[in-house]
Amino acid sequence: MKHIITFAGSNSENSINKQLAIYASTLVDEVKVTILDLNDFELPIFSKQLEEKEGYPENAVKFMDQMKNADGIILSLAEYNGAYTSVFKNLFDWMSRIEQKTFMSKSMLLMATSPGTRGGQSVLQMAADRFPRHDAHIVAKFSLPSFNDNFSDGKIINQELNEALLKEVKQFQESL
């Protein structure tokens, strides 16, 4: 059975991106899903001196191992000031030092959501531009606008948006 990992680029305990990522993973048929939370992979802020002195933090290596063992990745990025959250950028920076080909050609469904009408499109675009340089194989993308209006009880309640996600999930499924 194929195995996917699902996580949000957020450390919020009630992350809306984590909720969306989990929902998307329930739409993928016949896969083993591992839900990851960045709060379980606490890391020091990256610095070159820390890297020289102490090497890679264990949690960054552990997170890389989770990616290595997966066939696919569902990632939903929270947007802070038009960009990655600090917690995700820090993880990304550490991981890119461990392995420049950070995403190891794994199939990726890349998403973002926010309470605003743009649904995290800035961070989604930023990642879509950058991740392929780190061997991301982004097969599907989805942005959910106005989370509080369109998501309830663990699922998307706007039919049009739900169908748009289902199409992306199908692409992801076929790529695994």
Binding residue for ligand FMN, selected from 4, 5, 6, 17, defined by CB under 6 A: 17
Nearer to ligand FMN (CB atom), residue 8 or residue 136: 8
Regarding 143 and contact with ligand FMN (CB under 6 A), the answer is no
Q: Are 87 and 10 in contact (CB under 8 A)?
A: yes
Nearer to ligand FMN (CB atom), residue 13 or residue 52: 13
Regarding 114 and contact with ligand FMN (CB under 6 A), the answer is yes
Regarding 8 and contact with ligand FMN (CB under 6 A), the answer is yes
Window 18-77: residues binding ligand FMN (CB under 6 A)? none
Q: Count the site residues for ligand FMN by CB under 6 A.
A: 16
Q: Which stretch binds ligand FMN (CB under 6 A): 26-34, 53-61, 100-108, 110-118?
A: 110-118
**How is the chain classified by DSSP, letter by letter?**
-EEEEEEEE---TT-HHHHHHHHHHHTSSSEEEEE--GGGS--PPP-HHHHHHH-S-HHHHHHHHHHHT-SEEEEEE--BTTB--HHHHHHHHHHHHH-SSTTTT-EEEEEEE-SSTTTTHHHHHHHHHHGGGGT-EEEEEEEE-SHHHHEETTEE--HHHHHHHHHHHHHHHHH-
Regarding 79 and contact with ligand FMN (CB under 6 A), the answer is yes
Nearer to ligand FMN (CB atom), residue 7 or residue 173: 7
Regarding 120 and contact with ligand FMN (CB under 6 A), the answer is yes
Interface contacts to ligand FMN, rule CB under 6 A: 8, 10, 12, 15-17, 78-82, 114-116, 118, 120
